[in-house]
Amino acid sequence: MERVYKKVELVGVSSKSFDDAVNNAIEKASKTLHGLAWFEVTEHHGRIADGKVAEYQAVVKVAFKID
């Protein structure tokens, strides 16, 4: 029961949607980190080009268990 998690703060970017931006961040994290447990989205922003949303950017804290 006495365990410790670490949170890393990522920014996922997507041209499709905020949910996709969140998924991009988590899939990237899962390539180098094991034991991913939960995530928290703390900010939603993005880039505009030609008067439209060009990029959805989600700031995501990802937590994983430290061995």
Residue type at position 17: S
Smallest separation (angstroms) from its own copies to the CB of 65: 9
Q: Which of residues 23-42 bind its own copies (CB under 8 A)?
A: 23-31, 36-41
Could you tell me what percentage of the chain is helix, strand and coil, using 3-state DSSP and rounding each to the nearest 5? 20, 60, 20
Smallest separation (angstroms) from its own copies to the CB of 62: 7
Cα separation, 22 vs 54, in Å, equals 16
* Site residues for its own copies per CB under 8 A: 1-15, 17-19, 22-31, 36-41, 43-48, 51-53, 55-56, 59, 61-63, 66
